[in-house]
Structure formats: structure tokens, C-alpha cells
């Protein structure tokens, strides 16, 4: 598996698969290099990691997605590790992410060394757990 920053060539794939972002925001994230894609040995896109900056100064992973047949094989760990190394190489010492308390992802992030650092409770929504990790 290899990782690279998404480019305009990946726009349609991201638009078709990341239903949380409008078209213009995807274009902006491609320009700002805030989407990393994962490709298999045949160069087929199998997932992505999308991030932005919390308080405009702390990298925050908003989305981690891998096609189902690539899950539970260490690929997500490698993709997150790649992102963490990229953030560290440009000078960041802390990264963040979050997940709903009713999602299995919370256990995944804890295994990767993320610490529970807070939560957000919105009306009619499960608790959102906020995680941080020193890198």
C-alpha cells in the first residue's frame, strides 16, 4: 500500500465517496493538500484520510476511511502513521481526532496512542469523544 496527497485526478473518487463535503470544499482541500489517499499494489484508491486544523493550529483528522475488504489488516494504522509523520515533519507536536461514542473507532484510536481529551454533546446526537496524541 502507498500513500500520497490527493490531486485533481482523485476529485471524482472523493466526491463520489466522501458524502460529508460539498464539491467546493473538496476542491479547496485538494489545493491545500488536506486529503491523503491510500492505494493498493495495483494503484487503485482504497481509502483516504482527510484533515484540517483545530483552532487553526493543531492538525485534526476529520475522516479516515478504508474500503471494507482492507479493514482490520493494519492498513488504517499505517495510514494514520503516515499522516502523523507528515505532521511531525512540518513541526507539529500534537494531533487530534474525534469519533462518536457509539462507534468502534474509539478503540482503534486508543490502540494507536490517542488519549481521551474531552467530549462534545449535541442535542439528539451520541457523545463525540475528542482525542489527542503527542507526536
Q: What 3-state DSSP class applies to 87?
A: helix
- Domain borders along the chain are 2-134
Query: pLDDT by residue (tens digit) across 97-130?
Result: 999 998 899 999 999 999 999 999 999 999 999 9
pLDDT tens per residue across span 45-80: 999 999 999 999 999 999 999 999 999 999 999 999
Residue 99: CB atoms within 10 Å: 21
Q: Is 99 helix (H, G, I), strand (E, B) or coil?
A: strand
User: pTM of the predicted model, to two decimals?
Assistant: 0.93
Q: What is the DSSP letter of 126?
A: P
The verdict on domain 2-134 having CATH code 2.40.110.10 is no
Alpha carbon 77 to chain centroid, angstroms: 11
Amino acid at each position: 500500500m502507498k500513500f500520497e496527497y490527493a490531486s485533481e485526478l482523485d476529485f471524482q473518487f472523493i466526491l463520489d465517496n466522501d458524502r460529508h463535503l460539498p464539491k467546493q470544499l473538496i476542491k479547496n482541500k485538494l489545493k491545500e493538500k488536506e486529503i491523503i489517499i491510500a492505494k493498493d499494489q495495483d494503484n487503485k484508491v482504497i481509502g483516504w484520510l482527510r484533515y484540517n486544523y483545530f483552532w487553526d493550529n493543531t492538525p485534526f483528522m476529520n475522516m479516515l476511511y478504508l474500503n471494507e475488504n482492507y479493514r482490520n489488516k493494519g492498513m488504517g494504522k499505517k495510514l494514520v502513521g503516515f499522516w502523523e509523520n507528515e505532521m511531525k515533519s512540518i513541526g507539529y507536536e500534537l494531533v487530534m481526532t474525534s469519533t462518536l461514542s457509539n462507534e468502534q473507532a474509539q478503540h482503534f484510536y486508543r490502540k494507536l496512542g490517542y488519549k481521551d481529551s474531552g467530549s462534545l454533546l449535541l442535542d439528539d446526537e451520541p457523545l463525540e469523544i475528542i482525542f489527542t496524541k503527542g507526536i
